[in-house]
């Protein structure tokens, strides 16, 4: 009878040890999974932040595009109302000054837009 109880104690001890080892493995796996979940949550947060920035930039570009289209329509309206060839023959000095001033504004606008695009590209490549 004592041998029977000793056998049961040995079997229960081995079973308890096996379950303890399995529990240790599960605790390690759980810790690794928690780290992976945290990393994924950080990645998702970063992706959401980038998406918000891109959405804002797209919204700004859309507004700028609408303004540019309005300016273009205004300039085309002005151009269609005047005969610049006739005016330039009649008043060459006046027309030259106006054309030069307009050209400077256009070039300055192109330079500003180029700088803005360059800044956007350098900002996005740093991320």
**Integer Cα distance of 56 and 50 in angstroms:** 10
More confident site: 11 or 2: 11
With contact defined as beta carbons under 8 Å apart, do 106 and 113 qualify? no
Q: Specify burial of residue 7 (Cβ count, 10 A radius: 0-12, 13-18, 19+).
A: exposed
Residue 23 pLDDT > 60 = yes
The pTM for the full model equals 0.47
| pLDDT tens, position by position, 80-125 | 887 777 877 888 888 888 889 989 999 999 999 898 888 877 776 6
Return the C-alpha torsion angle 55, 59, 62, 67, nearest 10: -160
The string of pLDDT tens digits covering residues 65-77 is 999 999 999 988 8
pLDDT at residue 126, rounded to an integer? 64
Q: Tokens 């780290």 — which residue?
A: 35
- Residue 77 C-beta-side C-alpha neighbours within 13 Å: 6
Q: Mean per-residue pLDDT for 50-55?
A: 95
**6-10, 26-30, 32-36: range with lowest mean pLDDT:** 6-10
Please say whether the beta carbons of 52 and 127 come within 8 A.
Answer: no
Q: Which residue has the higher pLDDT, 18 or 99?
A: 18
Is the pLDDT at 127 greater than 70? The verdict is no
> Tokens 């740093």 belong to which residue?
126
Alpha-helical runs (H) found in the chain: 2-81, 84-90, 92-126
């Amino acid at each position: 009878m004592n041998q029977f109880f000793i056998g049961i104690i040995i079997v229960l001890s081995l079973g308890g040890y096996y379950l303890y080892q399995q529990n240790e493995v599960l605790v390690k796996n759980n810790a690794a999974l928690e780290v992976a979940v945290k990393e994924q949550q950080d990645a998702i947060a970063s992706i959401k932040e980038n998406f918000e920035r891109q959405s804002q930039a797209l919204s700004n570009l859309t507004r700028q595009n609408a303004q540019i289209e309005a300016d273009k329509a205004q300039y085309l309206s002005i151009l269609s109302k005047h005969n610049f060839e006739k005016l330039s023959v009649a008043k060459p000095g006046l027309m030259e000054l106006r054309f030069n001033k307009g050209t400077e504004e256009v070039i300055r606008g192109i330079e500003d837009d180029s700088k803005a695009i360059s800044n956007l590209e350098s900002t996005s490549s740093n991320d």
